[in-house]
Structure 1
Amino acid sequence: MSFWLIGYVAIVGIAMAIATAQSIFCLDASAWASWVQAIGSIVGIGIAIYVPWRQQQNQIVERRRADLVHRLFMARRLQAVVSEVVLAAMHLHHDVQTFGAVGGPHGFSFDLSSLTVLSDASRRIEEQDQEFDAGPLTLSIRTQLKEMARKVESHLGRSSHALDSDFIAEAVGWVNRAKAFESAAAGIVASAETALSR
């Protein structure tokens, strides 16, 4: 029930009580003035209590909404990083297949620095919002990116550029895990959108 409706009902109730009291008790004008002043004081105290309480409730609601908007922003940032991780994994998988087919180091066009950039981006998301519920996901992303970089560096550092079967299988696994990260990030965004729409 809104404050204004409660106030309206209270005023009508007070007016009816005064009219009833006047017909039952024959009070003179000064007594009525005292009663009206007492009732006015009580109403004033009620308003003085209600207004700050209502302002505090509004601030709590606004703060919660701002937190939810921030959470959605962070979730969308994470989703963008995860989309880039998927593209990087797919690009690396493509290069592994091409490298295997071509059989020489020129088959790799993959830029290892992109993995570092993505790892840093996921770490910044986690650092900027400690309460963000995507910590395990960002950690998994960084672990996969480090694993990808380590494997590529290890392979390119060898004198023999022949691909081992583990590398090819790992590249497929990286793509599949990256797509699972993408689904998880989409779930986090959907959760944030739902919380904000309430």
Structure 2
Amino acid sequence: MESLLHWIEIHPGTATWVQAIGSMLAIAIAIWVPYRQRRGQIIDDRKQQTLKTQSTSRRYASLLNDSIHLIRQTRESLHEHVREHRATTGNVIDPASIDSIYARALALETESLDEAQGSGLSLLRTQLGLVSNGLRPQPGWNVVYGERHLAILDAAEHEIAAVAR
């Protein structure tokens, strides 16, 4: 240690060089640390966005499947009543189930979906809205209303199945 101090004393410019190198290292570290933090934040944000997109896509796929299943089930049950010319008081059509799926479609966030899924969701919302509004049990229900309801369900099933492909 004494020899190092002696060497520094006989070379007076050494302290200036050590200070200059230290200053440059401090500047480099001052630039590198925020860069690394920002880069880490960008990576974390991308991961979060990917997870959100995957979650929304899964919910979208589930919504499509549930919609198709409910519409087919309702259509088949209603078709049986119409075919047999039986009147019903609404036990064939379950507005609460349809409204529940329609509410799920309205609540799904579109910004996490790609363009095709976004337009598919828009179409799904339209069809579910038509089904929800068009299938309300009518007073004096008869086969004519049943056929009208079947037409609504057939159109909705066709449109939603096209989106699901």
Is contact 1:115-1:146 (8 Å) kept?
no
Matches within 5 A, 1:130-141: 131-133=111-113, 135-141=118-124
Aligned-residue Cα RMSD (Å) equals 2.7
Does residue 39 (structure 1) correspond to residue 33 (structure 2)? The answer is no
Matched, 1:99 2:81: yes
> What is aligned with 1:85?
67
Residue of structure 1 in register with 2:158 after alignment: 176
Tell me the TM-score normalised to structure 1 length.
0.64
Which 5+ residue runs of structure 2 have no aligned equivalent?
A: 1-9
Distance 1:36-1:115 versus aligned 2 partners, 3 A rule: same
Any conservation in 2 of the 1:96–1:168 contact (CA below 8 Å)?
A: yes
Q: How much has 1:137 moved relative to structure 2?
A: 3.3
SS of 1:81's partner is helix
Match of 1:152 among 135, 138, 151: 135
**Distance in 1 (alpha carbons) for counterparts of 2:149 and 2:47:** 47
Structure 1 gap segments, 5+ residues each:
1-27, 184-198
What residue identity is the alignment partner of 1:81? L
More helix by share: 1
Structure 1 residue 162: Cα displacement: 4.2
When normalised by structure 2's length, the TM-score is 0.75
Counterpart of 2:95 in structure 1: which amino acid?
A: L
What secondary structure does 2:13 align onto?
helix
Aligned length: 152
Conservation of the 8 A alpha-carbon contact between 2:120 and 2:163: yes
Indicate the residue corresponding to 2:57 in structure 1. 75
> Residue type matched to 1:92 in 2?
T
Which runs of 4 or more aligned residues in structure 1 lie more than 6 Å from their structure 2 counterparts after TM superposition? none
Partner of 2:11: 29
Percent same amino acid among aligned pairs?
22
